[in-house]
A and B are shown apart, each in its own frame.
Chain A
Amino acid sequence: MCRRGEPFLVTIRKVFRPNGNSESKLNMGQVMKRLFAWLCGLALLSLTSPQLPVQAQTAAVATGTAGPFSYDVTQEVTLNGTVSSVLTKPAAGMIMGSHLLLATISGPVDASLGRFGLRGKGAVSVAAGEQIEVTGVMKTIKNQQVFLARTVKAGGQVYTIRNEHGFPVSPQARERASQKTAGEGL
């Protein structure tokens, strides 16, 4: 689980071991060594790759606009609270999808679980009155504070609601992740 104060390590972990499942963390020296080795490998690869045709588009990764839902994993926080309501449909004024209304020591929190959080196999199973832990990013959307939950810990189980980029994890994606599909083609 990602906790406040660890975002850099979290990011590095995703970049270098996308399929890794080790929870061991790297110190900065190890990180820099691997980063250097990775960049060298990338540079070598670029020298050996076939020449691209004339193109107008740069090969640099483009960055889209930072919309309200843009998700910065480095801004993640973890909240503990008591579920006051489980909303499979948004109430008036809420953003799309399912929501958990939480009572926390800082006050009420609207935790967005997105379109898929409460549906399908692997959906969050939680009831009002239950103590839970949610990790995500607080955003202001349409003048309202919304907590975009990435993970929910309830009843000793951790549910993944969004991926590291903030995109909702569908039941199909959960199924695929559980199967550790090797991935083909695409």
Chain B
Amino acid sequence: MNRKAHASILALIFVALIFLTGCGSLSSTPAPTETITATSGTPQSATVGTAFAAPLVATVTQGGSGVSGVVVTFTAPATGASGTFAGGTNTETDTTNASGVATSSAFTADAIVGGPYTVAATVANVSTLANFSLTNTAAVVSSSNYSFYLSGLAAINDVEGPNFYALAGSVAIDVNGNVVSGEQDYNDAFGNTSPGEPTTADVITGGTLTVSGTTGQGTLTLTTNNPKVGVGGVETLGVQFVNNNHALIVQFDGSATSSGSLDLQNLTGTHSGGFAFTLAGVDPRYYSVVYGGVFSLSSGTVSGVYDVDDFGAEVTPILGTAFTGTTSEPDSYGRGTVTGTGIAGTLVYYNVGPEAIRLIDVDTTDSAVGSAFGQGTSAGKFSATSLGTSVFGVASNSFGDNYAEAGQFTTTPASGTFSGIGDDDEILDGVGVVSGSTISGTYSIASNGYGNLTIAIGDLGSVSVLGLYLTDPTLNLNDPNNTTSGLGGALVADLDGYTLNGTGVLTPQTDTNTVDFTGNYAFGAQQYNYDDFWEFDFVGQGSVSSPDGVLTLTGTGLVSDPGSFFTGDIAANTGATFSGTPLPDSNENSTGRYTLLSTNPLAVTVVGGSPVDFNVVIYQVSGGQLFWLEEDSSSVFLGPLEQQGSLTGLPAAKRAAAKSAKPKQKQ
């Protein structure tokens, strides 16, 4: 090749290179990059354990157009609040369709509440990613509200010895046994009154109900914002469910001991009409006081009449004092106030149902607790015929002249008289035990349900003057949600002046058949004794059977014993056993009375202790409901035996057997 040709070729190559490079940089467009974006499924939330409503959708585009066939990888957090795809893992790959859209399988939230967290969608060799913002929300668990009330002796705030104390409240418990929320009022009238009173209750912020679905026995812890109650603000109650709606309870943490009731609340409807009520507690001088009366409630106004027996008053009892008062609207827990009555500066109420109310005096200088029950359509229509064959049980409060009485009588309405049998045990005042005494006397009942019953002096120890406050014949006073058995009766106040005062109930006796006193029973009682800390309380559950015609009672329970009545220094005893053979009186068919005396006492054994025998009598209201009364010279108790119903719907029953609470040491 000549030199000229060679130069021309080089020139052409040079021009071509220039064209290919220089011109390219000036006028040609490179291929567009791929991008990925989250096009739907974000943000969203789902309840833990459930699938998110929408799949996660990412779109891959290139130059504004969807790119098909691109593999997109969705990746959720490996730990914590996250979820899984259909394959059960936290990551999966999906390929874009013709529109460049990749759609994940259903994404299911895991069990951990949290978020928002990010699920990322990525494409290989694409530096950007698409983020999906997801949140796992808590499962919505239905809960129910329960009202509770107790009274007894408190070991906390023990400046001058144990104090009387009263406690009432409402607590929401979900189906898993978690305490969702609640509020309560505590009052020992000796420096330990809920600090927000009379305006604000203690707040219950949490806790747990642990209960056996088989026996209905367990504990309920209540975490409050008041560090002066329970153990550092946490109260533990021993619970013994009678049925799904009702439990016998004791405080069970060594800080105090008491007995009371826990009942499902029905917070619908309004309260109006006639009511009967009783209260028991301590007056401003710290002497025992009881109240009983009837009132009508209408449009936030109460008006009625009450009796009072106050050991600290200059004159007692004082009967038939008229009163009026004003009620506030209840809050979401059924809590409100009653003021202006003269009974207390402020009474707080908790609605249990349309015809059942718990009451607590929240004054800082005096304390009392009790109940009000509706009179239904009987209001204004009561008469002597409203009281028939009945069983009664009445006891002092913890700071009273400790005693208890129980009995049974039949009435003759035409003459306003009654006769029957009764038991009485006054451990402090020298009367001691009156066992199986014939009683008789007179009674009268006004149309508003306000009445009295006078036992002939000497028939039943110091017991003579009882105030009667009749209630709706369709209402069970021990179990306000029970509409089928144990219905009717009256609240009772013992108004024996400076000798005795107390409160209790009277229930129509409907069945004395021994055969019907069999089956599973929940039971409980409040016991007073001679010790320096003179009270223990128990709840339990067991069965009454009749092998060979002999009634045999066996059970297991929780004994709250801060005063160490039983052997050992355990304040809260689980697994205590109860056994005995109730012996029907020869005329039991007419009286419903059984005995566990001397040769066949009730034996109670706490774990690690020796059996302790108690002389006990039982009065049968029906097969479903009985009262038992201890009648020993230096100790006395009164409480109910209630036949157990269905426990299948108990909250937290699934926690069940797992937890067998360890005994707690005395505070």
**A→B interface (CB under 8 Å):** 14-15, 18, 49-71, 89-90, 95-97, 114-116, 119-121, 139, 141-142, 146, 163, 165-168, 170-177, 181, 183-186
Contacts and interface: CB of A to CB of B under 8 A. Distances in A.
B286 A186 contact: no
B319 A167 contact: no
A65 B447 CA distance: 28
Contacts of A176: 284-286
A95 B447 CA distance: 44
Interface string B449-481: 011101001100111110100000000000000
Contacts, number: 194
Given A64-B496, A166-B498, A172-B161, A56 B285 contact: no
A139 B160 CA distance: 29
> By CB atoms of chain A within 10 A, which of B159, B429, B454 has the most?
B429
A173 B289 CA distance: 13
Given A52-B305, A55-B446, A65 B345 contact: no
Given A170-B160, A185-B343, A57 B363 contact: no
A183 B430 contact: no
7 contacts: A65-B496, A68-B430, A95-B430, A96-B634, A120-B160, A172-B163, A185-B361
The 3 A-B pairs with the shortest beta carbon distances in the complex, nearest first, are A64-B496, A171-B160, A68-B430
A119 B285 contact: no
Interface stretch (B254-262, B308-316, B649-657): B308-316
A115 B534 contact: yes
Interface residues of B, number: 75
B100 interface: no
Given A166-B498, A184-B363, 6 more contacts: A53-B446, A54-B447, A57-B446, A57-B467, A186-B281, A186-B363
B318 interface: yes
A52 B429 contact: no
Contacts of A89: 530
Nearest to A52: B322
A147 to B, nearest CB: 13
B283 interface: yes
A186 B160 contact: no
Nearest to A146: B430
Contacts of B284: 176, 181, 183-186
Nearest to A148: B430
Contacts of B311: 163, 165, 167
Given A64-B464, A176-B286, A186-B310, A56 B534 contact: no
B446 A67 contact: no
A172 B190 contact: yes
B378 to A, nearest CB: 15
Contacts of A18: 314
Nearest to B366: A186
Contact of A54 (B282, B399, B448, B454): B448
A53 B365 contact: no
Contacts of A186: 281, 283-284, 289, 310, 343-344, 361, 363, 365-366, 368
Contacts of B190: 172, 175
B342 interface: yes
A84 to B, nearest CB: 22
Contacts of B322: 49-53
Nearest to B291: A186
A67 B160 contact: no
B495 interface: yes
B223 to A, nearest CB: 29
A61 B450 contact: no
B10 to A, nearest CB: 118
A143 B592 CA distance: 33
A49 to B, nearest CB: 7
Given A49-B322, A68-B431, A116-B161, A62 B289 contact: no
B376 interface: no
A57 B429 contact: no
Given A70-B499, A184-B365, A57 B312 contact: no
A86 B428 CA distance: 19
B499 A185 contact: no
A89 B342 CA distance: 40
Nearest to A140: B430
Interface in B477-506: 495-500
A56 B430 contact: no
B564 to A, nearest CB: 14
Contact of A65 (B160, B283, B304, B462): B462
Contacts of B429: 67-69
B450 A55 contact: yes
B499 A64 contact: yes
Interface in B428-450: 428-432, 444-448, 450
Contacts of A70: 462, 498-499
A69 B284 CA distance: 24
B497 A63 contact: yes
A166 B430 CA distance: 13
Contacts of B115: none
B361 A56 contact: no
A54 B319 contact: no
B24 interface: no
B365 A142 contact: no
Contacts of B312: 163, 167, 173
Contact of B495 (A49, A62, A174): A62
> By CB atoms of chain A within 10 A, which of B430, B452, B463 has the most?
B430
B174 interface: no
Contacts of A139: 430
A185 B452 contact: no
Contacts of B451: 56-57
A166 B500 CA distance: 12
Contact of B319 (A62, A65, A184): A62
Contact of B160 (A59, A166, A172): A172
A62 B308 CA distance: 11
Interface string B342-368: 111110000000000000010111101
Contacts of A61: 315-319, 497
B307 interface: yes
A97 to B, nearest CB: 8
B401 interface: yes
Contacts of A69: 428-431, 499
A64 B465 contact: yes
Contacts of B432: 142
Contacts of B343: 185-186
Given A184-B366, A185-B345, A96 B160 contact: no
Contact of A119 (B161, B319, B342, B401): B161
Contacts of A163: 287, 311-312
B320 A52 contact: yes
Nearest to B344: A185
A90 B633 CA distance: 13
B446 A54 contact: yes
A121 B160 contact: yes
A141 B430 contact: yes
B630 interface: no
A142 B447 CA distance: 43
Contacts of A96: 427-428, 530, 634
Contact of B285 (A51, A171, A173): A173
